[in-house]
Structure 1
Amino acid sequence: MNRFGFLGAFHFRVEFLGLGGDSVDTRFQSVSGLSSSIETDSLREGGENRFEHALPSRTSYSDLVLKRGFVTSSALLDWFSSAMQTLEIYPKDLNVVLLNEKHEPAMTWKVTHAWPKKWAIGDLDAETSAIAIETLELGYHDFRLEK
């Protein structure tokens, strides 16, 4: 372990539970959207015009965005394609696992009830030799952090 106990953000995997598939569906270039915030409702107090009370009302979560090199065949891509074509949504739970230097789980974000929301392919450009990148966006109910 490093001197201060900090973990690199570059060593991780994503595990889709109940999806099947092979290891290509655990490897991503980037994961973003593990974010939550507490929404508030305003309450005006009668006779008090200087301020409003902000009362916590619910927790909201950002969409989860996964990026990887485009693959032509995967269980994850089949799940997305089926949802986009039929609008039959079958949510899945998933884990985003941050790994330590020994390739062991150091932190795990357990994401519940994730569902396909958007799929996109990056720009195709004959003037570059870049890998085609697909972006998978998921809505979800919530997540919890486990050590």
Structure 2
Amino acid sequence: MPTTGARVDPYVSFNFLVELDGIIQASFRECGGLEATTEVIDFRQGGDNTTVYKLPGKTTFGDIMLKWGLTDSTELWTWRRQVIDGQVQRKNGSIVVYDLANRTEVVRWNFVNAWPTKWEGPAFNAQGNEVAVESLVLAHEGISRA
């Protein structure tokens, strides 16, 4: 815990790493979708007509979206292709944030039983000069902050 008056800077969003069981991908341009939502159930108790109680329902987790620059690596495409072929292989993974010096892990989210639900290839434009970007959407069954 920082002392009173000590400056605590937030972590930067560009210094992150994605780990997936058995898949080595050099880096990702973007990672999003870290989300957990708990359904709200309205409950009215008999005899109390003026109050609506709010109870927690089921919790769902948002899909994780990964984007990276097109390279000759085919590991993520192969994983997606297995799903298309009916062979769903689930993997656990982590999203890790590092400090500004890129030396120390400062935050980690672990997700479980992920599998790719969508792959999107790059958009090409002969007049552009942008990096070609692929994307992959992962469904998973839970996320926790370590």
Indicate whether the TM-score tops 0.5: yes
Q: Secondary structure at the match of 1:78?
A: helix
Total equivalences in the alignment: 139
Match of 1:92 in 2: 91
Q: Name stretches of at least 5 consecutive residues in structure 2 with no aligned partner.
A: 1-6
Alignment of 1:38-77 (within 5 A): 38-77=38-77
Q: Is the 8 A contact 2:15 2:102 kept in 1?
A: no
Q: Does 1:14 align with 2:36?
A: no
Quickly say closer, same or farther: Cα 1:26–1:35, change in 2 above 3 A.
farther
Alignment of 1:122-141 (within 5 A): 122-141=122-141
| TM-score using structure 1 length | 0.84
Give 1:51 deviation, angstroms: 4.7
Identity %: 26
Q: Does 1:29 align with 2:33?
A: no
Q: Is the 8 A contact 1:42 1:52 kept in 2?
A: yes
Residue deviations 1:4-36 (CA, integer Å, cap 9, x gap): 24211110110112x24x4xx141011101111
Q: Name stretches of at least 5 consecutive residues in structure 1 with no aligned partner.
A: none
Residue deviations 1:84-120 (CA, integer Å, cap 9, x gap): 2x12111100010101124221111111111111001
Greater helix percent: which structure?
1
Distance 1:67 1:109 in 2: 18
Match of 1:121 in 2: 121
How large is the RMSD of aligned CA atoms in angstroms?
A: 1.8
Distance 2:122 2:49 in 1: 51
Give 1:55 deviation, angstroms: 1.0
Q: Is the 8 A contact 1:16 1:26 kept in 2?
A: no
Distance 1:59 1:108 in 2: 20
Residue deviations 1:32-85 (CA, integer Å, cap 9, x gap): 01111211222233354445322101211111000111223332221112212x
Distance 1:59 1:72 in 2: 38
Q: Is the 8 A contact 1:14 1:95 kept in 2?
A: yes
Distance 1:40 1:140 in 2: 21
User: Which piece of structure 1 moves more, 72-81 or 7-16?
Assistant: 72-81
Q: Does 1:145 align with 2:135?
A: no
